[in-house]
Amino acid sequence: MARYMGYKRPKDTKKAFKKLLHYLGFHKWMLLLVTILVFISTGANIMGTYLLKPIINEYILPGDMIGLIRALIGMGIMYLCGVLASLGYSQLMVRTAQKVITEIRRDLFCHVQTLPLRYFDAHTHGELMSRFTNDVDTLQEALNNSFTMIIQSFITLVGTIIMLVVLNFQLSLIVFFFLAVMFAFIKFSSQRSKKYFTKQQLELGRINGFVEEMVSGQKVEKVFNHEEADFAEFCRLNENLRRASTGALSHAGMMVPANVSLSYANYAVSACVGGLFTLAGLCDLGSLSAYLVYVRQSAQPLNQFTNQVNFILAALSGAERIFEMMDEEPEIDEGKVTFCHVSKGEDGSLREETAYTGSYAWKLEDGSLVPLKGDVRFDQVVFGYTPDKKVLNGISLYAKPGQKIAFVGSTGAGKTTIINLINRFYEIQAGAITYDGIDIRDIRKKDLRKSLSMVIQDTHLFTGTIADNIRYGRLGATDEEVREAARIANADSFIRRLPEGYNTMLYGDGSNLSQGQRQLLAIARAAISQPPVLILDEATSSIDTRTERLIEKGMDALMENRTVFVIAHRLSTVRNSKAIMVLERGTIIERGSHDELLEQKGRYYQLYMGQYELE
């Protein structure tokens, strides 16, 4: 009997099962065929045992050899049908289960992509990944094995009990007594082991988390000579896991030998009493022979059925967590205005195009086209990540087409929040944000983000070639456009020095590159998308001063004729901005050009002079 791993039971079993039935319903005819084949397979096994009675009484005892051969051939054909049915349902169930799991995994991934960033802020990556790994795997295992096993065990148990009663009701009372004892012992052991299995899962999670931290933080561990202290902590966690596992497996391990011993006792008592019944003429030899085979079979389906119920509940618990994630509300998007490529006629009129043209427009609900210029304005915007704590307090600002607007200020002042609101990653509580005179809430989110390109401090690269990662900004870009974007970002020189150049494969978020090289690729990705609005959030934070100066001309080319929002701690990168906004606690306390702010000798002057002294 497979052991129960102690997963948490579902909070609402009925609801989880109902949602799972929704997916199973797409394959109801295949599941019906599987169920029929399970009935045939199990029925052949049960009836084959019952045939021992007529074979012994009607052919073996009378010495009818021809009749015996015919009966054995018939029994063989019946068992062959059972074997073929078993092979058929196992293959069909695997295929059906994989289709169901594929559909669930597809819908889960599709729904995750629609969730707002607030959801990801409130859940760890490991917690979200467990839905796609642990929970889906548990559900897959149950569908592959437990679905057919629980039907088979139930039919076998019920069929065996019915045949025992048919063969000899008085002897069946002995079997019922031992089955009741087995069931009570299984329930007692399951309750005791569940507590330890739950603790085992908790301790396993703790030790896995500790090992993950130590592996990822090896450099820090070695710098501070924490090897001995960390080893001692690992030994403590390992010992806790050993104790929990020992308790869990000790109780779970008692089930099989105890039930086997009870089944042997059941068989021995039934055989002795059955033998006395036969001598007394209360039972024939054929019935006793078939009866004793059923007795030997009676314990197995009970064990299997009880164990599979646990696995079904574990699978429903995993399904519940999956469906809870699917029930999360997606991003609110009531926008109707769309983004489109356009070409200009000789008279200045705009015409929508399906291919990339380098010119863009907003397509309103009535079909009219508004040139996309990159005019972004905030009007008394109020925002907080939580209702009780405001991050922005009545922010008003504007960026005209082609202007470079910079934000500076201390950590937590609200700089990145403003950038997130332009992308509409979060919804504002009051005020308005307009884009070319259109409220961004009226623009479809997908289309709004098509008009923006962003380089953030935490660069993320995908598994694939360097060319693929740059082309991620515009999938239809040619190889020459990829190389041109790399030249703009000053990444071309280091890429060409790599063994395979632009075909160099990146793994583990570009771990085979330096942080500065990864940042250059992110800039190249932004360059290739050629957006009307460009956002640089600490885009050069991981690049040394020399490299930063080398790419300034390229960045200027990238920002030409584009509205640019820049966040930077290095004030040297924002000196040529059209306007610099100094933020403090969600409020713009100073605004103006570099020279104007220096003349005011306020907060910006203090920041700039402090940096100047450091340099």
Instruction: Give the C-alpha separation, 127 to 543, whole Å.
Output: 33
Q: Over the stretch 124-152, which tens digit does the pLDDT of each residue have? A: 676 777 788 878 888 888 888 878 888 88
Token reading at 261: 């011993």
| Closest to 434 measured CA to CA, from 450, 422, 445 | 422
Instruction: Give the C-alpha separation, 303 to 309, whole Å.
Output: 10
Does this model's pTM top 0.75?
Answer: no
Instruction: Give the C-alpha separation, 136 to 146, whole Å.
Output: 15
β-bridge mates for residue 592, sequence order: 580
13-326 and 376-614 agree in CATH topology: no
Instruction: Give the C-alpha separation, 323 to 16, whole Å.
Output: 7
Token reading at 314: 């574990």
pLDDT of the residue at 382: 92
Instruction: Give the C-alpha separation, 159 to 47, whole Å.
Output: 9
pLDDT of the residue at 198: 67
Give residue limits of the domains in the chain: 13-326, 338-371, 376-614
Q: Over the stretch 316-349, which tens digit does the pLDDT of each residue have? A: 777 888 888 888 888 888 889 998 888 888 777 8
* 3-class state of residue 554 by DSSP: helix
Chain centre to alpha carbon of residue 85: 36
pLDDT of the residue at 446: 87
Three-class secondary structure assignment of 435-491: ECCEEHHHECHHHHHHCEEEECCCCCCCCEEHHHHHHCCCCCCCHHHHHHHHHHCCC
pLDDT of the residue at 4: 42
- Angle among Cα 44, 49, 52 to the nearest 5 degrees reads 130
Q: What is the CATH number of domain 376-614?
A: 3.40.50.300
Instruction: Give the C-alpha separation, 5 to 132, whole Å.
Output: 19
* Alpha-carbon distances of 254 from 65, 185, 250, 251, 301, rounded to whole Å: 47, 10, 6, 5, 18
* CATH architecture of the domain formed by 13-326: Up-down Bundle (1.20)
The single-letter DSSP state of residue 501 is G
Q: Which segments in the chain show pLDDT lower than 70?
A: 1-11, 124, 126, 190-191, 193-195, 197-198, 201, 219, 223-224, 251-253, 255-256, 306, 309-310, 508, 539-560, 570, 572, 610-615
* 3-class state of residue 236 by DSSP: helix
Please list, in sequence order, all residues whose beta carbon lies within 8 angstroms of the beta carbon of residue 557, skipping any fewer than 6 positions away. 488
